[in-house]
A and B are shown apart, each in its own frame.
Chain A
């Protein structure tokens, strides 16, 4: 057991990764070593500032504690430098040989391996906690993706809007803000390419009855290319209501003649499939 072990045990306890504080044996070692005592005091002072209690308001006490902590940190740093110097002065032939035989990269690798193994053995044992953390992280990433997608689909450049539409595929499909933004693009974007891409993206996310109705209400105002894509998707993946409304639209003459022809073909093909 050396000073580093004692410090590591103290840090583990303060960070909540260990249940017990320093053992009596360790406490005795600390009492005997003044440098170690100072370092332990510094670590304790540092950790106490990160507690979960309410933040302290600025005051002369707070200032005093800060300067005290700073002084302790400086003292600890000085001790570390002095101990380094002491070590250098007592370096023997064996120590020098160690330096030659163990070059820096190897030492770094060994330290990394040590840190990874420490991480592996001290990982959170509770699977539930990890799942909650992962879910939170996923939600944060999804909302970030939604923000990026929203910002891109409002861009002036059509190719950036197309990129934004592709980005919606990495977002939560139940995000109504994005669904409404896509619907708005289908109805108002000046570029047919963007409208078609938005239409496919909206269908990929799954339609609810309100979105489906909004789409059906806008069919008549679209250009033939968008109309035809809408008809194809609504017949293929829409509800019975969508089919009925589209048939009515075809009869009332609001659809382009070619779209009407395609609609009839699609309906015939679908009923043929259903009868099989």
Chain B
């Protein structure tokens, strides 16, 4: 029996000891409680990247690849540590003497994997290693992925609901149908939709990055765009129209005010909302 083919419910606290500075990759196959029902995958990585690919299977295949932080090479000069470290936020250690001390590589990384009733939680809070997490998930899986720093989030061929957040990296999603709610702080969001989900709205937000979406020509939906310092570029056949109306009416015991401040395009008669908002970045809407 494969020792990594966990019986459920599974709670795995995985400690990987890497004795060299080289990348260490390990693979696991995780059974779901009910393989015929859609799974929810939650992965949160403090330092690293996440890649998820949908496949025609019923297990969750997990690959962890731990890499030394090349960018975090300490510059040892004359027995003094000078941090050019992007990850070490303890600035008090700068210029501290290491004369007579030997470097001990801290190669222990902990990744926790838990499965309960088709909900898989994967977490790594390690900040001294780059954790590259690659997942193969059933097509129907819903994903909630977050990366704090390090690399990008990449998702392809997944039909379930997506919730993606990357603080410093980019977000790429290809051949997805959503609904998708994604947010990046510094880098871009690129999404290529297979179709627009009609059950729930989608929304992409980037604070400093751009948003680039590709939508099938036959998709029905209402695309709303809003940017403060960026520009909007559209390749859609349908024109974007400003919604600048203010409608004020009594309703019940109160009142209702409709406020427009967006540009909107109704694709093929309109449908579920796809909202795109940036602060500084541009917005690109393409038809495919």
Contact = CB atoms under 8 A, between A and B. Distances in A.
Are A and B physically bound partners?
yes
B279 A224 contact: yes
Contacts of A258: 228-229, 279
A225 B205 contact: yes
Interface string A220-243: 000111001000110011000000
Nearest to B180: A159
Contacts of B229: 258
Contacts of B163: 157-159, 191
A194 interface: yes
Contacts of B277: 192-193, 196, 225
A194 B201 CA distance: 11
Interface string A170-205: 001110000000000000001111101100100111
B219 to A, nearest CB: 17
Interface stretch (B57-65, B69-77, B151-159, B256-264): B256-264
Contacts of A194: 181, 203
A196 B276 CA distance: 11
Interface stretch (A52-60, A87-95, A160-168): A160-168
Interface stretch (B2-10, B23-31, B169-177, B246-254): B246-254
Contacts of B258: 204
A79 interface: no
Contacts of B282: none
At the interface, is chain A mostly helix, strand, loop or mixed? helix
A173 B279 contact: no
B201 A162 contact: yes
A204 B275 contact: no
Contacts of B228: 225, 228, 258, 262
A38 interface: no
Interface residues of A, number: 34
Contacts of A192: 183, 205, 207, 277
Interface in A52-81: none
A225 B276 CA distance: 12
A193 B181 contact: yes
A164 to B, nearest CB: 10
B196 interface: no
Nearest to B262: A200
Given A157-B161, A160-B200, A232-B261, A197 B251 contact: no
B204 interface: yes
B256 A163 contact: no
B278 to A, nearest CB: 8
Contacts of B207: 192, 223-225
B255 A193 contact: no
Interface in B230-288: 246, 251-259, 261, 273, 275, 277, 279
B262 to A, nearest CB: 9
A206 interface: yes
9 contacts: A142-B252, A158-B163, A158-B203, A159-B201, A162-B181, A162-B201, A162-B203, A191-B183, A258-B228
Given A203-B259, A225-B228, A228-B228, 20 more contacts: A157-B142, A159-B163, A162-B201, A163-B201, A173-B254, A174-B252, A191-B165, A191-B205, A193-B181, A193-B183, A194-B203, A204-B257, A206-B254, A224-B279, A225-B205, A225-B207, A228-B279, A232-B261, A233-B259, A258-B229
Instruction: Please give me the 8 A-B residue pairs with the lowest Cβ-Cβ distance, nearest first.
Output: A173-B254, A193-B203, A159-B179, A174-B254, A158-B181, A159-B200, A172-B252, A174-B253
Interface of A: 142, 157-160, 162-163, 166, 169, 172-174, 190-194, 196-197, 200, 203-206, 223-225, 228, 232-233, 236-237, 258, 262
